[in-house]
A and B are shown apart, each in its own frame.
Chain A
């Protein structure tokens, strides 16, 4: 019972934040709405009994990515002051398609997974297990390393692109 109410509450928060993000004219406010949406997702992760990811969500998304976006907003502030439309001329088609897509997919999902309920409780040592699986050779060690390489590349790439000549 509680779970349901909590779910509905945080789902609402998340969606509200998302919609706010995409409909807010002022960009800074949009970014704040986005942060709210991230928070809602983190709460949902707690409900899904994945506390680690809730933490990660807060650190990475709200912390790093959100701040990064705000920095970018500030760095590109000049031309986007006020005025002018904030939507391009295909927004209505996109809205339509998005709605259609949502309706169809949603209906399909309801058909398929409408009656699937949660299984038994999760084991407590899931974090240790995650760590173990990410470093085991026949686990996900290779993807882990590749991900590290990806991050390094991204770092180097970003620095290179943005470097002042």
Chain B
């Protein structure tokens, strides 16, 4: 018998290698359900999942919702713009009210780092962090690791390059924690203004030039450039950014010939990734990431749900 020794999924940083492997292996078994004609199993009948999203999201929210529905759980979506948040209710009050309605799992995305941890300490329900500020996005890192394992057969020993805005990216942070834990060699590249000061303490090598980072890489993971950051004067223009940090036909040749290209979405075509790379089935695994995302989230729901002890 296997057990996930946790009530909540808050981040990859506090996850053990055994727990990551358990989640990935469980997710691999869930892949098949999405290929059936009847894409549903009765496992979580009678359980309810609340998706509490304080930030815009299409992919992640839909993915969690589909994952819940394929396991027969009831899923309820709440987005900040249509909830009592606009009437001034605090996060804690919202959470206490949701708790009183007895859901089993609450999935939360919030612009403040630590918001899921606050809920986890207050509520008896399982909390899944679907992205908190620039902190962590564990389910994204898990689906990325699943995709790498699926395409490369392993994670340990691979060179993985993360390119772009490392400082503001929760996807980068969770992936750095996860991939280094699983034995990959992680390198990052981005403008100095988008690089965390303590990057070297995270066990990765940092470059300013994209070309230096992707040399001989097995996996190239491009990060979304958050357009709203432009106002903060951390980069002059999208055009200049693209000149230096856009993955294209020319610079991808520096990576291994069988390298895979990943992107957590949503993509800014022509900014961080050129359309011909993004759409190249020979290297791009971006849609495989989305497909694996549903399986990973099914695995999280499955492993977290149980008795009420």
A and B from one assembly?
Answer: no
